[in-house]
Amino acid sequence: MGRVLWFLLNLTIQIMKRAILTSLLFIAALASLGCVEVTSSSTRVVAEKDLESLAKYREWTLVNPTPQLMEPAAAISCFIIPGRHEPSPHLNKYVSVFVNPVAREQMMTRQQPKFPAGSMIVKEKLGSRDSKMPELLTAMIKREPGYNPENGDWEYLVLNATASMIVERGKLTRCSDCHTSYKRSDFVTRTYLPQTVTSALKP
């Protein structure tokens, strides 16, 4: 009887080990296909810190004191990206742009800026020049070299209007496809810079 129990116990352990291994392999396969998102605790911490910083964007430097109509060429080019099905978030929208202290000097003083890692840029998308509340926010965060070298190592984000939730983030191709036209200015459009700032930019 003792040997039978030992045999059954050992068999149960082996079956459980195989089941756990199979499950882990299945999850890994789904993750590689993009079917599930595997988030580490360190990734969650970074996400929380990013949101905490972005939520304070109105304490940063306001680049354009008067909301600017989104440049039509940029709005239209976003709309006609091959394979795009969503309407352009820039078409007939006004923007107010904020930069954090890390990005301020390059944004406000350089003709060909090279934004350092940690730079953050937030755009308020406004329905009209007089709007007090944005419809949504878009943001860019400069990551360490190697994150996304083809697009200047920028991460693109979409946030809700109150900056309390990140709706979408990553190497968003529908964002980077537009920004590739602005490689000279480190993939940042800057069409919203006031004339007084543009005329004073240094090489």
* Residue ranges for the chain with pLDDT beneath 70: 1-13, 16-17, 19-42, 71-91
156 within 8 A of 143, measured Cβ to Cβ: no
**pLDDT tens, 118-135?**
999 999 999 999 998 999
Is the pTM value of this prediction over 0.85? no
**30: its two tokens:** 């789904």
CATH class of 41-198: alpha beta
Q: Where are the domains of the chain?
A: 1-38, 41-198
163 within 8 A of 33, measured Cβ to Cβ: no
**Cα(first)–Cα(last) distance of the chain, in Å?**
87
**pLDDT tens, 87-146?**
555 667 899 999 999 999 999 999 999 999 999 999 999 999 999 899 999 999 999 999
Measured between alpha carbons, how far is 175 from 95 in angstroms, rounded to an integer?
16
